[in-house]
Amino acid sequence: MSRFGPGTDTRKESDRQTRERGQATLRTNPFVQMKRVQLHRDTSADVASSGIIAPNIARLRMLYNNADQLTESQTIQLHALYQGEWWTAGRSLEDVRLMLAGSAHIYGICAAETQRLAGFARVLSDGVFKALIFDVIVDPAFRGQRIGQKLMKNVVSDPRLARVRHFELYCLPELERYYENLGFTADVGGVRLMRCTPE
């Protein structure tokens, strides 16, 4: 019997088995690995720098690749993603194709093994003064992996937009903090969005 009282040894054995099952899951499930890497990178630089999770960080980088144009299959996936959001629901597949053709730059992030579209954004720009970012969207199955942040980084670091003075977007008030953390500000001198919808 354990000196900590009856049942303690049984609980220890149960805890050991639970840890072993969890470790097996981490070894076989890359999405669990990504969540774990994310947690440690956010909360413990010491753990990240120790090399304990370095292989998982490398694996995370290998799980996705960038795309500056979408395949037909990815275009269909984007259309499906749009149907799940209030601000894009109802867009037709044909209109999505026309939108892609008319956008100056598109940014896709895809799962490396399957080429499934994980995230998307697009930009309209004159290449010098303004770049307006639209439709930042991440597949719910891939959220929590910093896909949105990677999309924003791909946009603002794009060599084709190196001369642009201002990157701009519009969003709901509850998303302001998210974009502020990525370098955007709502302090634009009182400028307001105006819209004309042709009848």
For residue 95, is it within any domain?
yes
**Over 80: is that where the pLDDT of 189 sits?**
yes
Do both 56 and 91 map to the same domain?
no
Same domain, 40 and 77: no
> Do residues 131 and 96 make contact, with C-beta atoms less than 8 angstroms apart?
no
Residue whose structure tokens are 């799980």 = 63
Query: Is residue 129 within 8 Å of residue 164, measured between CB atoms?
Result: yes
Rounded distance, CA 177 to CA 183, Å?
10
The three-point CA angle 82-87-88 to 5° equals: 30
The pLDDT value given to residue 83:
98
Q: What is the pTM of this model?
A: 0.69
pLDDT in tens, 145-164: 999 999 999 999 999 999 99
Give one DSSP letter per residue of 126-163, joined into a string: -SSSEEEEEEEEE-GGGTTSSHHHHHHHHHHT-GGGTT
Token pair listed for 73: 């299959």
Residue 39 sits in the same domain as residue 107: no
Q: Are residues 55 and 27 in the same domain?
A: yes
The alpha carbon of residue 65 and the mean position of all alpha carbons in its chain are separated, in whole angstroms, by 12
**For the residues 115-144, what does the mean pLDDT come to?**
97
Same structural domain, 88 and 148: yes
In the predicted model, is pLDDT for residue 1 greater than 90? Answer: no
In a domain, 1, yes or no: no
Q: What are 68-124's pLDDT values in tens digits?
A: 999 999 999 999 999 999 999 999 999 999 999 999 999 999 999 999 999 999 999
Question: Is residue 33 domain-shared with residue 131, that is, in the same domain?
Answer: no
Are 129 and 76 within one domain?
Answer: yes
Alpha-carbon distance of 128 to 149, in angstroms, equals 23
Question: Are 36 and 101 contained in the same domain?
Answer: no
pLDDT average, residue stretch 183-188: 94
Query: What are the strands of the beta sheet with 130-138, ordered from one edge?
Result: 64-67, 105-111, 117-125, 130-138, 166-168
128 shares a domain with 49: no
Q: Are residues 26 and 120 in the same domain?
A: no
Between CA 64 and CA 74, with CA 68 as vertex, the angle to 5 degrees is: 70
Q: Are residues 81 and 105 in the same domain?
A: yes
Q: Is residue 189 situated within a structural domain?
A: no
Claim to verify: residue 133 and residue 85 sit in the same structural domain: yes
pLDDT tens-place string over residues 13-67:
444 444 444 444 333 333 322 222 222 223 233 323 333 334 443 444 568 999 9
Q: What is the DSSP letter of 166?
A: E
DSSP 87: T
Handedness of CA 87, 160, 69, 99 (dihedral sign): positive
Domain range for residue 142?
64-180
Q: Flag whether 76 is in a domain.
A: yes
Let me know how long the chain is.
Answer: 199
